[in-house]
C-alpha cells in the first residue's frame, strides 16, 4: 500500500515594501495546510462476470439480478460510499456464484439427457 502524506504545510512569510527579500515586521508567518484524502479502498463490483452470467448463464434470472446489483455497486463506488458498494458487490458475487453453479449443473444435466436419449434411439433401431 502506498504511503500518502495526510497534510502538507507550507510556511510563507510576506515581504514588505521596504526592500526586496526583507520580511515585513507587521505580519507573522502564514501557514497554509492542504489535506490530501487517503486512498479509497477499491471494492469489486463484478460487472463483467454479471454480464457474462446475464448473457450465457441466466437460470431463474439470477444473472440479470446480479448485473443489477453490480451496476448499483459501481454507482456507489463512484459516489464514494464504500460500505454500500461493498454490500452490493458481495450480493452480486453471491448471485453470480449461484447463477454459474446452476448454469453448469443445468448444462451437464442437459448433456447427459441428450446422450441417454440418442443412445436409446440407437438401441431401439438395432432391434
Q: Are 39 and 85 in contact (CB under 8 A)?
A: no
SS3 26: coil
Together in a domain, 24 and 51: no
Closest CA to 93 of 67, 56, 74: 67
Residue 127: the pLDDT is: 58
Domain count, the chain: 2
Residue 67: the pLDDT is: 97
For residue 24, give its domain range: 1-39
Together in a domain, 86 and 69: yes
Residue 20: the pLDDT is: 55
Q: pTM to 2 decimals?
A: 0.65
Together in a domain, 85 and 116: yes
Secondary structure of 91-126 as H, E, C letters: HHHHHHHHHHHHHHHHHHHHHHHHHHHHHHHHHHHC
Together in a domain, 55 and 103: yes
Together in a domain, 14 and 74: no
Residue 11: the pLDDT is: 60
Q: Mean pLDDT for each 10-residue chunk of the chain (127 residues)?
A: 58 57 58 68 90 94 97 95 96 97 97 96 80
Inter-axis angle of helices 82-125 and 47-56, to 10 degrees? 30
Amino acid at each position: 500500500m502506498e504511503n500518502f502524506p495526510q497534510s502538507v504545510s507550507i510556511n510563507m512569510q510576506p515581504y514588505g515594501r521596504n526592500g526586496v527579500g526583507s520580511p515585513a515586521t507587521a505580519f507573522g508567518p502564514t501557514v497554509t495546510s492542504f489535506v490530501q484524502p487517503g486512498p479509497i479502498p477499491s471494492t469489486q463490483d463484478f460487472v463483467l462476470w454479471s454480464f457474462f452470467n446475464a448473457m450465457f448463464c441466466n437460470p431463474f434470472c439470477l444473472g440479470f439480478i446480479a448485473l443489477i446489483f453490480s451496476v448499483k455497486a459501481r454507482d456507489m463506488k463512484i459516489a464514494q460510499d464504500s460500505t454500500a458498494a461493498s454490500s452490493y458487490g458481495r450480493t452480486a458475487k453471491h448471485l453470480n456464484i449461484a447463477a454459474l453453479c446452476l448454469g453448469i449443473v443445468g448444462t451437464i444435466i442437459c448433456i447427459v439427457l441428450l446422450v441417454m436419449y440418442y443412445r436409446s434411439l440407437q438401441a431401439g433401431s438395432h432391434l
